[in-house]
Chains A and B, each alone.
Chain A
Protein backbone atom coordinates (compact mmCIF):
# COMPACT_ATOMS: atom_id res chain seq x y z
CA UNK A 1 0.00 0.00 0.00
CA UNK A 2 2.92 2.34 -0.52
CA UNK A 3 4.14 3.26 -3.92
CA UNK A 4 1.07 3.05 -6.10
CA UNK A 5 -0.33 6.13 -4.32
CA UNK A 6 1.88 8.20 -6.52
CA UNK A 7 0.67 8.84 -10.07
CA UNK A 8 2.66 10.40 -12.84
CA UNK A 9 1.70 12.12 -16.06
CA UNK A 10 3.73 13.52 -18.90
CA UNK A 11 2.69 17.08 -19.74
CA UNK A 12 2.95 18.49 -23.24
CA UNK A 13 6.38 19.91 -23.95
CA UNK A 14 6.27 22.57 -26.64
CA UNK A 15 9.06 23.24 -29.12
CA UNK A 16 9.22 26.89 -28.02
CA UNK A 17 8.95 26.59 -24.23
CA UNK A 18 11.12 29.26 -22.60
CA UNK A 19 12.40 27.14 -19.71
CA UNK A 20 14.02 23.68 -19.63
CA UNK A 21 11.07 21.27 -19.42
CA UNK A 22 9.84 19.26 -16.46
CA UNK A 23 8.84 16.11 -18.31
CA UNK A 24 7.19 14.17 -15.52
CA UNK A 25 4.60 15.57 -13.13
CA UNK A 26 3.21 13.72 -10.13
CA UNK A 27 0.11 13.74 -8.02
CA UNK A 28 -1.08 11.68 -5.07
CA UNK A 29 -4.10 9.42 -4.77
CA UNK A 30 -4.24 8.64 -1.03
CA UNK A 31 -5.77 5.37 0.19
CA UNK A 32 -8.96 6.99 1.53
CA UNK A 33 -10.05 7.27 -2.10
CA UNK A 34 -10.42 3.50 -2.25
CA UNK A 35 -12.14 2.81 1.07
CA UNK A 36 -15.75 4.05 0.89
CA UNK A 37 -16.50 3.00 4.47
CA UNK A 38 -13.79 1.72 6.75
CA UNK A 39 -14.28 -2.00 7.55
CA UNK A 40 -14.00 -3.27 11.12
CA UNK A 41 -10.93 -4.99 12.49
CA UNK A 42 -8.31 -3.77 10.05
CA UNK A 43 -4.70 -4.57 11.01
CA UNK A 44 -3.15 -1.96 13.27
CA UNK A 45 0.29 -0.46 13.84
CA UNK A 46 1.87 -0.87 17.27
CA UNK A 47 0.77 2.15 19.32
CA UNK A 48 4.08 4.09 19.37
CA UNK A 49 4.38 3.74 15.62
CA UNK A 50 0.75 4.77 15.13
CA UNK A 51 1.44 7.95 17.12
CA UNK A 52 4.35 8.77 14.88
CA UNK A 53 2.56 8.02 11.62
CA UNK A 54 -0.66 9.81 12.43
CA UNK A 55 -2.87 6.78 11.87
CA UNK A 56 -3.58 3.50 13.57
CA UNK A 57 -4.14 1.63 10.32
CA UNK A 58 -1.54 0.78 7.68
CA UNK A 59 -4.39 0.73 5.14
CA UNK A 60 -4.81 4.50 5.62
CA UNK A 61 -1.15 5.51 5.73
CA UNK A 62 -0.08 7.86 2.95
CA UNK A 63 3.62 8.70 2.63
CA UNK A 64 4.77 12.02 1.17
CA UNK A 65 6.55 13.23 -0.90
CA UNK A 66 6.34 11.03 -3.94
CA UNK A 67 9.57 9.19 -4.66
CA UNK A 68 10.02 10.00 -8.42
CA UNK A 69 11.48 13.24 -9.74
CA UNK A 70 8.65 15.61 -10.81
CA UNK A 71 8.30 18.34 -8.22
CA UNK A 72 11.80 18.10 -6.88
CA UNK A 73 11.46 15.04 -4.67
CA UNK A 74 13.62 15.52 -1.59
CA UNK A 75 15.11 18.64 -3.09
CA UNK A 76 12.95 21.23 -1.37
Chain B
Protein backbone atom coordinates (compact mmCIF):
# COMPACT_ATOMS: atom_id res chain seq x y z
CA UNK B 1 0.00 0.00 0.00
CA UNK B 2 1.11 3.51 -0.71
CA UNK B 3 0.33 6.91 0.68
CA UNK B 4 0.18 9.64 -1.93
CA UNK B 5 1.34 13.16 -1.27
CA UNK B 6 -0.08 15.57 -3.80
CA UNK B 7 3.20 17.31 -4.53
CA UNK B 8 6.35 16.59 -6.45
CA UNK B 9 9.47 15.16 -4.84
CA UNK B 10 11.42 18.16 -6.13
CA UNK B 11 10.01 21.27 -7.84
CA UNK B 12 9.78 21.21 -11.62
CA UNK B 13 10.11 24.60 -13.24
CA UNK B 14 10.23 24.87 -17.02
CA UNK B 15 11.05 28.34 -18.29
CA UNK B 16 11.71 27.88 -21.99
CA UNK B 17 8.92 27.12 -24.46
CA UNK B 18 10.69 24.25 -26.18
CA UNK B 19 8.36 21.34 -27.11
CA UNK B 20 11.32 19.63 -28.83
CA UNK B 21 12.76 18.89 -25.40
CA UNK B 22 9.57 16.98 -24.50
CA UNK B 23 10.41 14.44 -27.19
CA UNK B 24 13.84 13.84 -25.69
CA UNK B 25 12.57 13.72 -22.11
CA UNK B 26 10.37 10.79 -23.17
CA UNK B 27 13.52 8.66 -22.99
CA UNK B 28 13.33 8.89 -19.21
CA UNK B 29 9.55 8.41 -19.22
CA UNK B 30 9.05 5.28 -21.30
CA UNK B 31 12.59 4.36 -22.34
CA UNK B 32 14.57 1.22 -21.52
CA UNK B 33 16.44 2.95 -18.71
CA UNK B 34 13.63 5.30 -17.80
CA UNK B 35 11.81 5.80 -14.53
CA UNK B 36 8.88 3.54 -15.40
CA UNK B 37 11.21 0.65 -16.17
CA UNK B 38 13.14 1.33 -12.97
CA UNK B 39 10.08 1.47 -10.71
CA UNK B 40 8.52 -1.67 -12.15
CA UNK B 41 11.83 -3.53 -12.13
CA UNK B 42 12.58 -2.92 -8.44
CA UNK B 43 9.06 -3.30 -7.13
CA UNK B 44 8.81 -6.65 -8.92
CA UNK B 45 12.24 -8.03 -7.99
CA UNK B 46 11.72 -7.34 -4.29
CA UNK B 47 9.53 -10.41 -3.73
CA UNK B 48 12.30 -12.88 -4.44
CA UNK B 49 15.32 -11.25 -2.86
CA UNK B 50 16.88 -11.86 0.58
CA UNK B 51 15.06 -10.15 3.43
CA UNK B 52 17.70 -7.58 4.23
CA UNK B 53 17.37 -5.80 0.87
CA UNK B 54 13.59 -6.02 0.26
CA UNK B 55 13.04 -2.69 1.97
CA UNK B 56 15.68 -1.02 -0.18
CA UNK B 57 13.97 -2.16 -3.38
CA UNK B 58 10.60 -0.99 -2.04
CA UNK B 59 11.95 2.43 -1.13
CA UNK B 60 13.88 3.01 -4.34
CA UNK B 61 11.09 1.62 -6.52
CA UNK B 62 8.67 3.99 -4.84
CA UNK B 63 11.01 6.93 -5.34
CA UNK B 64 11.28 6.07 -9.04
CA UNK B 65 7.53 6.66 -9.33
CA UNK B 66 8.06 10.08 -7.78
CA UNK B 67 10.69 10.71 -10.46
CA UNK B 68 8.32 9.45 -13.14
CA UNK B 69 5.83 12.04 -11.98
CA UNK B 70 8.44 14.79 -12.27
CA UNK B 71 9.33 13.76 -15.82
CA UNK B 72 5.63 13.65 -16.68
CA UNK B 73 5.25 17.18 -15.34
CA UNK B 74 8.11 18.40 -17.53
CA UNK B 75 6.70 16.76 -20.66
CA UNK B 76 3.19 17.97 -19.90
CA UNK B 77 4.28 21.55 -19.36
CA UNK B 78 6.23 21.52 -22.64
CA UNK B 79 3.44 20.06 -24.78
CA UNK B 80 0.11 21.12 -23.29
CA UNK B 81 0.03 24.49 -25.03
CA UNK B 82 1.42 23.41 -28.38
CA UNK B 83 -0.80 23.35 -31.45
CA UNK B 84 -0.68 20.30 -33.76
CA UNK B 85 1.52 22.34 -36.09
CA UNK B 86 3.96 23.26 -33.32
CA UNK B 87 4.13 19.64 -32.19
CA UNK B 88 4.94 18.61 -35.74
CA UNK B 89 7.72 21.17 -35.92
CA UNK B 90 9.04 19.78 -32.64
CA UNK B 91 9.33 16.33 -34.18
CA UNK B 92 6.22 15.12 -32.38
CA UNK B 93 3.96 14.82 -35.43
CA UNK B 94 3.89 11.03 -35.23
CA UNK B 95 3.13 11.27 -31.53
CA UNK B 96 0.23 13.64 -32.16
CA UNK B 97 -1.21 11.37 -34.84
CA UNK B 98 -1.61 8.63 -32.26
CA UNK B 99 -1.91 10.41 -28.91
CA UNK B 100 -2.88 14.08 -29.44
CA UNK B 101 -0.88 15.78 -26.71
CA UNK B 102 -1.46 12.95 -24.23
CA UNK B 103 1.62 11.50 -22.58
CA UNK B 104 2.54 7.97 -23.52
CA UNK B 105 5.08 5.45 -22.35
CA UNK B 106 7.47 5.46 -25.26
CA UNK B 107 11.10 6.42 -25.67
CA UNK B 108 12.54 9.44 -27.46
CA UNK B 109 12.31 7.62 -30.78
CA UNK B 110 8.63 6.78 -30.21
CA UNK B 111 9.14 3.07 -29.47
CA UNK B 112 6.52 1.97 -26.91
CA UNK B 113 7.65 0.70 -23.52
CA UNK B 114 7.90 -3.05 -23.18
CA UNK B 115 8.41 -5.39 -20.23
CA UNK B 116 11.34 -6.85 -22.18
CA UNK B 117 13.32 -3.81 -20.95
CA UNK B 118 13.36 -5.21 -17.42
CA UNK B 119 14.37 -8.50 -15.91
CA UNK B 120 13.78 -10.58 -12.82
CA UNK B 121 16.19 -13.46 -12.62
CA UNK B 122 15.43 -14.61 -9.09
CA UNK B 123 19.16 -14.60 -8.38
CA UNK B 124 19.98 -11.81 -5.92
CA UNK B 125 23.34 -10.90 -7.42
CA UNK B 126 22.11 -11.02 -11.01
CA UNK B 127 19.15 -8.81 -10.13
CA UNK B 128 21.14 -6.32 -8.06
CA UNK B 129 23.84 -5.98 -10.70
CA UNK B 130 21.11 -5.26 -13.25
CA UNK B 131 19.75 -2.60 -10.90
CA UNK B 132 23.17 -0.96 -10.54
CA UNK B 133 23.59 -0.94 -14.32
CA UNK B 134 20.13 0.56 -14.74
CA UNK B 135 20.95 3.38 -12.35
CA UNK B 136 24.21 4.19 -14.13
CA UNK B 137 22.47 4.17 -17.51
CA UNK B 138 19.76 6.46 -16.19
CA UNK B 139 22.43 8.78 -14.78
CA UNK B 140 24.07 8.93 -18.21
CA UNK B 141 20.73 9.63 -19.88
CA UNK B 142 20.14 12.53 -17.50
CA UNK B 143 23.56 13.90 -18.40
CA UNK B 144 22.75 13.86 -22.11
CA UNK B 145 19.39 15.51 -21.42
CA UNK B 146 21.07 18.24 -19.37
CA UNK B 147 23.47 18.74 -22.30
CA UNK B 148 20.54 19.14 -24.70
CA UNK B 149 18.76 22.06 -23.03
CA UNK B 150 19.85 25.54 -22.05
CA UNK B 151 16.84 26.07 -19.78
CA UNK B 152 18.55 26.46 -16.42
CA UNK B 153 15.36 25.72 -14.47
CA UNK B 154 14.77 22.48 -16.33
CA UNK B 155 18.45 21.64 -15.88
CA UNK B 156 18.06 22.17 -12.15
CA UNK B 157 15.34 19.51 -11.85
CA UNK B 158 17.28 17.15 -14.12
CA UNK B 159 20.41 17.59 -12.01
CA UNK B 160 18.45 16.60 -8.92
CA UNK B 161 17.19 13.47 -10.68
CA UNK B 162 20.69 12.64 -11.90
CA UNK B 163 22.06 12.90 -8.38
CA UNK B 164 19.40 10.50 -7.11
CA UNK B 165 20.62 7.92 -9.65
CA UNK B 166 24.11 8.25 -8.20
CA UNK B 167 22.78 7.65 -4.69
CA UNK B 168 20.61 4.73 -5.76
CA UNK B 169 23.54 3.03 -7.49
CA UNK B 170 25.52 3.41 -4.27
CA UNK B 171 22.73 1.83 -2.21
CA UNK B 172 22.45 -1.08 -4.60
CA UNK B 173 26.20 -1.65 -4.40
CA UNK B 174 25.88 -1.74 -0.62
CA UNK B 175 23.06 -4.27 -1.00
CA UNK B 176 25.36 -6.48 -3.07
CA UNK B 177 27.92 -6.19 -0.31
CA UNK B 178 25.35 -7.22 2.32
CA UNK B 179 24.51 -10.31 0.34
CA UNK B 180 28.14 -11.20 -0.38
CA UNK B 181 29.27 -10.57 3.21
CA UNK B 182 26.75 -13.00 4.61
CA UNK B 183 28.81 -15.88 3.25
CA UNK B 184 31.84 -14.88 5.29
CA UNK B 185 29.93 -14.38 8.49
CA UNK B 186 31.05 -16.74 11.20
CA UNK B 187 27.99 -18.57 12.36
CA UNK B 188 27.82 -20.50 15.59
CA UNK B 189 24.89 -22.79 15.93
Q: Please determine whether B85 and A18 come into contact, CB atoms closer than 8 angstroms.
A: no
Verify A18–B83 contact, CB threshold 8 A: no
B48 within 8 A of A: no
Known A18-B14, A18-B15, A19-B17: A76·B81 in contact at CB below 8 Å: no
Q: Is the CB of B17 within 8 A of A71?
A: no
Do residues B84 and A18 form an inter-chain contact, with CB atoms below 8 A? no
Q: Separation in Å of the B83 CB from the closest CB of chain A?
A: 5
A33-76 at interface with B (beta carbon < 8 Å): 71-72, 75-76
A18, A72, A76 pick with most chain B CB within 10 angstroms: A18
Residues of B within 8 A of A71 (CB): 83-84
Number of chain B residues close to chain A: CB under 8 A: 16
Q: Measured between C-beta atoms, what is the minimum distance from A50 to chain B in Å?
A: 29
Do the beta carbons of A22 and B80 come within 8 Å of each other?
yes
Q: Is B78 an interface residue (CB 8 A)?
A: yes
Q: Is the CB of A22 within 8 A of B84?
A: no
Q: How large is the interface on A (under 10, 10 to 19, 20 to 34, 35 or more residues)?
A: 10 to 19
**A:8-25 near B, CB below 8 Å:** 11, 14, 16-22
Q: B85–A22 contact, CB under 8 A?
A: no
Contact A11 B80 (CB under 8 A): yes
Give the distance in Å from the alpha carbon of A14 to the alpha carbon of B15 in the complex: 12
Partner of B13, one of A16, A20, A21: A16
State the A residues within 8 Å of B (CB). Answer: 11, 14, 16-22, 71-72, 75-76
18 contacts between A and B (CB under 8 A): A11-B80, A17-B77, A18-B14, A18-B16, A18-B17, A18-B18, A18-B78, A18-B151, A19-B17, A19-B19, A19-B82, A20-B81, A71-B83, A71-B84, A72-B83, A75-B83, A76-B83, A76-B84
